[in-house]
Amino acid sequence: MQIPLISWVAKQYRAAFEGLSQEAWVLATVMFVNRAGTMVLPFLGLYLREGLGYSLADTGWIMAFYGVGSMVGALTGGALSDRFGSYRVQQFALFTGAFLFLGLSFLTEFWSLAFGVFILTSVADMVRPANSSAVFEYAKEGNVTRAFSLNRMAINLGFSVGPAAAGIIAAWSYQGLFWADAATCAAAGLLFVGFFRKRRPRRERERPVTPGRSPYRDRGALAFSALVLLFSLAFFQLVSTMPLYYRDVFELKEEQIGLLLGFNGLLIVAVEMVFVNWAHNRIAPRHAIAIGVLVMALSFASLNWATGLPGLYASMLVLSVSEILAMPFMISWITLRAGDESRGRYLGLYAATYALGHILAPLLGTRVIEHFGYSTLYYGVAALSVLTAIGFSQLPPATGRQSQP
- CATH number for 35: 1.20.1250.20
Is 399 a domain residue? no
324 occurs within a structural domain: yes
Question: Which of 27, 36, 62 minimizes the C-alpha distance to 181?
Answer: 36
* pLDDT of 390: 95
Phi, psi angle pair for 36, to nearest 5°: -65, -20
**Nearest 5°: CA angle at 29, between 25 and 31?**
120
Give the count of alpha carbons within 13 A of 99, CB side only: 5
Asked whether residue 3 is assigned to any structural domain, the reply reads no
Three-class SS of residue 396?
A: coil
The contacts of residue 281 (CB under 8 Å, 6+ apart) are none
Question: Which alpha helices (DSSP H) does 173-241 contain, by range?
Answer: 175-196, 219-235, 237-240
Specify the pLDDT at position 233: 94
The torsion angles phi and psi of 210, rounded to 5 degrees, stand at -100, 150
Give the residue numbers spanning the domain of 94: 15-204+216-393
31 occurs within a structural domain:
yes
Inside any domain, residue 356: yes
The pLDDT of residue 191 is 92
Give the single-character DSSP code of 210: S
Pairwise CA distance, residues 267 & 290, whole Å: 20
Alpha helices in 1-85 (DSSP H): 2-17, 22-35, 40-46, 56-84
- Quick one: pLDDT at residue 368? 93
DSSP letter assigned to residue 325: H
Distance CA 193, CA 233 (A): 35
What is the per-residue pLDDT for 401?
A: 40
Number of structural domains the chain divides into: 1
pLDDT of residue 301: 95
Task: Give the span between the Cα atoms of 180 and 217, in whole angstroms.
Answer: 41
Q: From the first residue on, what is the mean pLDDT of each consecutive set of 10 residues in the chain (405 residues)?
A: 64 74 87 74 72 80 81 84 85 90 85 89 86 82 75 76 70 76 88 85 51 74 92 89 89 84 79 78 82 95 91 93 88 76 79 81 88 94 96 77 37
pLDDT value at position 373? 93
Any domain includes 51: yes
